[in-house]
Amino acid sequence: MHPSLRLANARQPLIRFLGKRQWPTKPEEQHPHPFAPPEFKQHFSDFLKKFQSTPAAASSAGASAGSAKKAEGGGQVFAEFWQAPSRLWKRELEEWEIELVQSGGATRH
């Protein structure tokens, strides 16, 4: 077998794409899912107003502790985990918890 003949027969992929890749210049307008229940579709504009009025999580590490706000439900919303009480932080799992997860959640005896 001659290597030069092998290079002449370059592999052609079987899939063909039509046209150039074109990405939209601006994002699509937000709308409810087409199969959403009618009551969700009716109140979608209210949802957007609430969603846009809530502050996004602070991206900088120096977010002040004063950024915690009262939510409508009465609970607090924290931008970073260290602003929350330590009882809500992640903790090390105990051995029995690890075994319970590894057993697939079967009843512990």
In a domain, 94, yes or no: yes
pLDDT at 24: 85
- Reading the block at residue 45, the tokens are 């504009």
**Please, what are the averages of pLDDT over each run of 10 residues along the chain (109 residues)?**
63 86 88 93 91 60 44 70 81 86 76
Query: Looking at the 3D structure of the chain, how many domains does it have?
Result: 1
| Whether this model's pTM surpasses 0.75 | no
The reply to whether 107 falls in a domain is yes
Q: What is the mean pLDDT of the chain?
A: 76
Domain that holds residue 98: 68-109
Tokens of 100: 């319970």
How far is the C-alpha of 43 from the C-alpha of 15, rounded, in Å? 43
- On whether the CB atoms of residues 58 and 76 are closer than 8 A, the answer is no
Does residue 85 sit within a domain? yes
pLDDT tens by residue, 20-36: 888 889 988 999 999 99
